Chains A and B, each alone.
Chain A
């Protein structure tokens, strides 16, 4: 069986991008709700 190429960089990049995207959207919802406070 051949050893798979090291593709961890792409794997880590995909998860970091996904987490940043989802967290950013949640923060944007929080920010828009917070503006209704002020």
Chain B
């Protein structure tokens, strides 16, 4: 009786080519819809009001109008980070994968808006304070928040195991959100160059009526845009999951 060597498939650490992902026709149109278009129209409308229908402030000049994009970006970053932290807590509690997907989406949007805050802030500070940057509590804590949010996304990209990735990043997201009250109250707790809130404070807003209306319109438009970005990013995450990309 003769024996023949039967070739066996490679095992162990051999490199495996993943199967091709299924095509998802019309994927971009599943990510964006009419509600997203409405949010974009809202932001454009707010910018038109800021540019053409809002008076220029007497002492700061045109640079004061940066306020209407800087503060709504900060509020949107807070919103996205709070969503990220709440969804992370839900994941840690229920182990619900959809909550992890939502946290991931909100974390990415939070980094976008924190970046906008850190760029528009110095562009406002330079003509008013005479310097691009100062290491006061509000600015330093915001920069620290940016690094923690970036670390959250880097961590997600670095861990291969989906369960460990979701668990580690959820803990980091909850810790990052703890910075928000410190950032908001830092102007009261420390002596800072950054001005105190003129709208989001216990007493009456200190803005003239026309500027207050513009600020309110801009804040609502940006918060809605932020919510729609998180929704679109979540839909993209679901499509990636359907395509087998975890």
Interfacial residues, chain A to chain B (CB-CB below 8 A): 1-2, 4-8, 10-11, 13-15, 17-18, 21-22, 25-26, 29-30, 32-34, 36-38
Contact = CB atoms under 8 A, between A and B. Distances in A.
B31 A29 contact: yes
A1 to B, nearest CB: 6
A15 B175 CA distance: 31
A37 B116 contact: no
B126 interface: yes
Contacts of B56: 4
A30 B31 contact: yes
Contacts of A37: 23-28
Contacts of B43: 22
Contacts of B40: 26
Contacts of A14: 66, 69-70, 119-120, 123-124
A29 B62 contact: no
Contacts of A17: 116, 119-120, 123
Contacts of A10: 62-63, 66, 123-124, 126-127
Interface in B108-142: 112, 115-116, 119-120, 123-124, 126-128
B119 A6 contact: no
A37 B239 CA distance: 10
B60 A4 contact: yes
Give the dominant DSSP class at B's interface.
helix
Given A11-B65, A26-B229, 18 more contacts: A4-B61, A4-B62, A7-B60, A7-B62, A7-B63, A7-B127, A8-B62, A10-B66, A15-B69, A17-B120, A21-B112, A29-B229, A32-B236, A32-B240, A33-B27, A33-B31, A34-B28, A36-B23
A5 B127 contact: yes
Interface in B55-103: 56-63, 65-66, 69-70, 73
A25 B57 CA distance: 31
B120 A18 contact: yes
